[in-house]
Structure 1
Amino acid sequence: MASDAKAKLVDFLDRKAFEPVLRADPDRYSESQRAKLEDVKRATESERERFRNYESAEKVYQMYRDDLSSEPAQEVDRELRDLNLPTLKDVREEFEQLAEELGVRH
């Protein structure tokens, strides 16, 4: 059950936050924005792998919350916003609700 909760949280982040960034079409952006897009894609892929490798749903939840206020995550969020792509903060309400439904949120 616990691993099921972790899988649901990670899948949610994949669908709502990570995949839209990773699938963003560079052709939709100006030449000057493409380098920024590649940077945020690399950061997003790294972040996605990090979340997939956490050992529990509780750890996914805790690290999601930590990322909301970390300076490196805030920098990536600013770049994502500049590119009109979703951020972790954009999906916070839904993520928190899902975590609560799964009994993860404290």
Structure 2
Amino acid sequence: MGVTKLVLQNGNGVDKPKTGDDVVIDYTGCLYDPAAADKHFMGDEFDSSKDRGEFKTTIGIGKVIRGWDEAVQNMTLGEMSILTITADYAYGDRKVELKGINQRRSS
């Protein structure tokens, strides 16, 4: 389990982020679709930085999912890859509870 990486565009081959480095990433998150082999198993999109702009974070310290913390540190500057991340390296089986809407809170 974990992360697999398919490199679409090589980076510079030299500059890799280390734990604690600030990184800037463009990403599109898709659900895994076993029927979409022709699209690298990318199913429905659930999130993307494309419309919001680049995503900035500190890598390797738990601010993002474990799959990103590990995979991004194995990329080089300019690299574009498809990361396939298993649930245990992503969000797992976490549940979601809506606790408030516009200042109203659930009891």
TM-score class, shorter: under 0.3
TM-score of the pair, normalised by structure 1: 0.26
More strand by share: 2
- Structure with more helix by fraction: 1
Calculate the TM-score normalised by the size of structure 2.
Answer: 0.26
Which entry has the higher C-alpha Rg, 1 or 2? Answer: 2
